[in-house]
Amino acid sequence: MGNIDLSIVIPSFDEEESLPILVKSIYNNLQNQNIIFEVIIVDDGSADNTWYEIVCLEKKYSNITPIKFIKNYGKSDALDAGFKASYGNYVLTMDADLQDDPEEIYKLYKVISKEGFDLVSGWKKKRNDPLSKTIPSKFFNMVTRIFSGIKLNDFNCGIKIYKRGVIDSINLYGEMHRYIPLIAKWNGYKNIGEKEVNHNKRKFGKTKFGMERYIRGFLDLLSVSFVYRFKKRPMHFFGTFGVLFFIIGFISVGLIVYEKINKISENVPLDLIRPVTDQPLFYIALVSIIIGVQLFLVGFLSELVIQINSDRKGYKIEETGDVKKS
Query: Which residues of the chain form contacts with ligand UDP (CB under 6 A)?
Result: 11-13, 15, 44, 72, 74-75, 78, 95-97, 99, 158, 207-209
184, 119 contact by CB (below 8 A): yes
**Residue number with CB closer to ligand UDP (114 or 206):** 206
121, 92 contact by CB (below 8 A): no
Of residues 70 through 129, those in contact with Mg ion by CB under 5 A are 95, 97, 99
Binding of Mg ion by 137 (CB under 5 A): no
Residue 293 Cβ vs ligand UDP, minimum distance, rounded to whole Å: 41
**Residue number with CB closer to ligand UDP (53 or 95):** 95
Q: Which x/- pattern, by CB under 5 A, does the window 35-74 give for Mg ion?
A: ----------------------------------------
Give how far Cα 119 sits from Cα of 189, 198, 218, 252, Å: 8, 18, 23, 52
**Residue number with CB closer to ligand UDP (44 or 58):** 44
How remote is the C-alpha of 250 from its chain's centroid? 40
d(CA 283, CA 289): 10
Of residues 183 through 202, those in contact with Mg ion by CB under 5 A are none
Residue 77 Cβ vs ligand UDP, minimum distance, rounded to whole Å: 8
234, 302 contact by CB (below 8 A): yes
Residue 183 Cβ vs ligand UDP, minimum distance, rounded to whole Å: 18
Residue 252 Cβ vs ligand UDP, minimum distance, rounded to whole Å: 51
Q: Which residues contact 295 (CB under 8 A, 6 or more apart)?
A: 238, 239, 241, 242, 245
d(CA 64, CA 249): 62
Residues within the interface to Mg ion (CB under 5 A): 95, 97, 99
